[in-house]
Amino acid sequence: MLRSVSLRQASAGIAALIVLTLALGFGYPLVVTGISQLSFSHQANGSLVYSGGKLAGSALLGQEFTDSKGNPLPRYFQPRPSAVDYNGAGSGASNLGPSNPELVKEVSERERAYRAFNHLPDSAEVPVDAVTASGSGLDPDISVQNALDQAPRVAAARHLAAARVIGLVRQYTQSPQFGFMSESVVNVLEINLALDGLR
Amino acid sequence: MNITGWEQLLFVCAVTAILAPLLGRYLAATFRDTMPAVTSSGTAAAPAARRKAPGDRIFLPAERLFYRALRVDPESSMTWQVYAVAVLVFGLLSCGLLYAVLRLQGVLPLNPARAPGMSPLLAFNTAVSFVTGTNWQAYEGETQASYLADMAGLVVAQFTASAVGLAVALAVVRGIAGSARRIGNFWVDFTRSLTRVFIPLAVLAALVMVSQGVVQNFSGFRLASTLVGGTQQIPGGPVASMEAIKLLGTNGGSMYGAGGAHPFENPTGFTNLFDLLLVIVLPFAIIFMFGRLIGRRKQALAIAAVMAAVFLGHTVVAMQAELHGNSQLPATVSQAATAQNPGGNMEGKETLFGPSGSALMTVGTMGTTAGATDSALDSYTAVGGTAAFAGILLGEISPGGDGGGLYGILVLALLSVFIAGLMVGRTPEFLGKKIGATQMKLVVAYVLAIPVVVLVFGGISLVIRPGTSSILNPGLHGLTEVTYAYASAAQNNGSAFAGLAANTPWYDITLGLTMLIGRFGPIILALAIAGSLAGARVHARTRATLDTAGATFAAFLVGVIVIVGGLIYFPMLILGPVGERIIG
3-state per-residue secondary structure call for B380-402:
CCHHHHHHHHHHHHCCCCCCCCC
> B567 pLDDT band (50/70/90 cuts)?
confident
pLDDT, residue B2, reads 67
Interface-testing mutation among A39, A49, A55, A60, with chain B (most B C-beta atoms within 10 A): A60
Beta-carbon separation of A107 and B333 below 8 A: yes
pLDDT, residue B132, reads 97
CB atoms closer than 10 angstroms to residue B180: 16
One domain, residues A111 and A177 = yes
Contacting residues for A50 by C-beta, under 8 A, at least 6 apart: A56
Beta-carbon separation of B348 and A181 below 8 A: no
Among A37, A60, A125, beta carbon nearest to B264:
A60
B447-473: per-residue pLDDT in tens? 999 999 999 999 999 999 999 999 999
Q: Is A92 left (phi over 0), alpha (psi -120 to 50) or beta?
A: left
Degrees, nearest 5: CA angle A160-A162-A165: 80
Q: Is the dihedral of CA B110, B115, B119, B122 positive or negative?
A: negative
pLDDT, residue B35, reads 87
Q: Taking residues B344-362, report their average pLDDT.
A: 97
B318-343: per-residue pLDDT in tens? 999 999 999 999 999 999 999 899 99
Q: Does A139 touch chain B (CB under 8 A)?
A: yes
B378-410: per-residue pLDDT in tens? 999 999 999 999 999 999 999 999 999 999 999
Among A33, A63, A99, beta carbon nearest to B328:
A99
pLDDT of residue B42 exceeding 60, the answer is no
Q: What is the pLDDT of chain B when averaged over all its residues?
A: 94
Q: Are B290 and B399 in contact (CB under 8 A)?
A: no
Degrees, nearest 5: CA angle A184-A187-A189: 175
Beta-carbon separation of B268 and A111 below 8 A: no
Contacting residues for A113 by C-beta, under 8 A, at least 6 apart: none
Beta-carbon separation of B215 and A13 below 8 A: no
pLDDT of residue B84 exceeding 80, the answer is yes
pLDDT of residue B39 exceeding 70, the answer is no
pLDDT, residue B40, reads 46
DSSP per-residue string spanning B236-298:
-SBHHHHHHHHHHTT----SSTTGGGSTTTS-SHHHHHHHHHHHHHHHHHHHHHHHHHTT-HH
B3-26: per-residue pLDDT in tens? 889 999 999 999 999 999 999 999
Beta-carbon separation of B258 and A91 below 8 A: yes
pLDDT, residue B44, reads 43
pLDDT, residue B41, reads 44
pLDDT of residue B344 exceeding 50, the answer is yes
Beta-carbon separation of A95 and B348 below 8 A: yes
pLDDT, residue B203, reads 98
One domain, residues A77 and A174 = yes
Cα–Cα dist A165/A152, whole Å: 7
Q: Does A29 touch chain B (CB under 8 A)?
A: yes
Q: Does A78 touch chain B (CB under 8 A)?
A: no
Lowest mean pLDDT among A185-194, B170-179, B423-432: B423-432
> B52 pLDDT band (50/70/90 cuts)?
confident
pTM: 0.96
Q: What is the ipTM of this complex?
A: 0.97
One domain, residues A137 and A53 = yes
Q: Taking residues B114-134, report their average pLDDT.
A: 97
Q: What are phi and psi for residue B515, nearest 5 degrees? A: -65, -40
- Which range marks the domain in which residue A162 is found? 48-197
Buried b (16+ CB within 10 A) or exposed e, B513-546: bbbbbbbbbbbbbbbbbbbbbbbbebbebeeeeb
Q: Does A128 touch chain B (CB under 8 A)?
A: yes
Q: Which residues of B touch A25 (CB under 8 A)?
A: 151-153, 155-156
pLDDT, residue A199, reads 66
One domain, residues A35 and A53 = no
**Domains in chain A: how many in total?**
2
CA end-to-end distance (rounded Å), chain B = 25
Beta-carbon separation of A93 and B376 below 8 A: yes
Write the single-letter amino acid at B493.
Answer: N
Q: Which residues of A touch B527 (CB under 8 A)?
A: none
Beta-carbon separation of A143 and B340 below 8 A: yes
Cα–Cα dist B285/B491, whole Å: 21
Taking chain A (199 residues) in runs of 10, the rounded mean pLDDT of each run is 89 98 98 98 97 94 95 97 96 96 97 97 95 98 98 97 97 95 97 91
Q: Which residues of A touch B84 (CB under 8 A)?
A: none
Beta-carbon separation of B583 and A99 below 8 A: yes
Cα–Cα dist B507/B340, whole Å: 43
- Residue B524: CA atoms inside 13 Å, Cβ hemisphere, count? 13
Cα–Cα dist B321/B150, whole Å: 35
B87-121: per-residue pLDDT in tens? 999 999 999 999 999 999 999 999 999 999 999 99
pLDDT, residue B50, reads 56
Q: Does A27 touch chain B (CB under 8 A)?
A: no
The CA distance from A85 to the nearest CA of chain B, in Å, is 10
B475-497: per-residue pLDDT in tens? 999 999 999 999 999 999 999 99
pLDDT, residue B37, reads 63
> B38 pLDDT band (50/70/90 cuts)?
low
pLDDT, residue B51, reads 67
Beta-carbon separation of B329 and A128 below 8 A: yes
One domain, residues A123 and A35 = no
One domain, residues A86 and A163 = yes
B231-264: per-residue pLDDT in tens? 999 999 999 999 999 999 999 999 999 999 999 9
Degrees, nearest 5: CA angle B574-B578-B580: 110
pLDDT of residue B49 exceeding 80, the answer is no
Q: Taking residues B488-510, report their average pLDDT.
A: 96
One domain, residues A34 and A73 = no
One domain, residues A24 and A96 = no
Contacting residues for B503 by C-beta, under 8 A, at least 6 apart: B122, B125, B138, B139
